[in-house]
Amino acid sequence: MFDIIRIPAFKDNYIWLLRKGASAVVVDPGDARPVLEVLEREGLTLTSILITHHHNDHQGGVAELLAHYPAEVFGPAAESITGISQPLRGGETISFGLLGVGFRVLAVPGHTLGHLAYYGSGALFCGDTLFGGGCGRLFEGSPLQMHDSLTQLALLPDETVVFCAHEYTEANLRFALAVEPGNRQLRKRIDEVAVLRSKGLATVPSTIELEKATNPFLRCTEPEIIASAQNRVAQAHNEAEVFAVLRDWKNSF
């Protein structure tokens, strides 16, 4: 398998580095400098870059990394990203020679229309689609698209480790509690996250199991969540409409 190194970037981004032996793959390098520091410190050669979507905090470092390493760059064909050598649309299986593992490419539109997630070896790299306790904003896609994308991720095995691209969990869980105050597992997670953050520690990765138990955006069929949504918008009837109400509510929370 491979080891995974968390590289903090900007205010609250995480760049994930997969390492096996002396080779490395990075996911969403919005900034090259912290990645180059880790590569040099650990004596690693960058062989591949995975991009989930076109926002600059996820791809801004690609050009500078390519100036140092002749890496292959995987990313959404449907988005404007410089340096992509392996354009993807979802449904492909990709492998990185030196890591010796295959990843499934999932199309997860919503945050952006071409947004991709990468799943392999029990790990999910989902960019700004699924967050700890929350989900990405709908900059380009519809609530229905995002709901379908999250439903697809929720169908992955419970033990899947979820590597999202931002440290947003604490604020997300404050919203989750407003939506579902009766969720005991959610209250437990809030306490655990508060301890981690008070020590300056990361709250990600999480797991699909934990997200299904505590993330309101994956729980749109729970009676308490349906009731909370209908309290705001009476005509929120089906799952996707409940999701749309939650996503809108979170924007102004």
Q: Does 55 bind Zn ion (CB under 5 A)?
A: yes
Task: Indicate the residue among 96 and 168 with the shorter CB distance to Zn ion.
Answer: 168
205 preceded by a cis bond (ω within 30 of 0): yes
Q: Does 28 bind Fe ion (CB under 5 A)?
A: no
Give which of 52, 26, 56 is closest to 39, Cα–Cα.
26
Please give the Cα distance from 134 to 112 (Å, whole number).
16
Q: Does 167 bind Zn ion (CB under 5 A)?
A: no
Query: What is the bridge-based pairing of β-strands 72-76 and 45-50?
Result: parallel
**88 CA to centre of own chain:** 17
Segment 93 to 152, residues that bind Fe ion, using CB under 5 A: 128
Q: Indicate which residue of 54, 55, 115, 147 is catalytic.
A: 55
* Single residue of 48, 49, 57, 111 touching Fe ion by CB under 5 A: 57
Task: Indicate the residue among 56 and 95 with the shorter CB distance to Fe ion.
Answer: 56
Specify the residue for token string 């010796």: 100
Question: Of these partners, Zn ion, Fe ion, none, which one is at the site of residue 219 (CB under 5 to 8 Å by kind)?
Answer: none
* Single residue of 128, 167, 211, 241 touching Zn ion by CB under 5 A: 128
Residues lying near Zn ion in the complex (CB under 5 A) are found at 55, 128
Residues lying near Fe ion in the complex (CB under 5 A) are found at 57, 128
Question: Which residue numbers are catalytic?
Answer: 53, 55, 57-58, 111, 128, 166
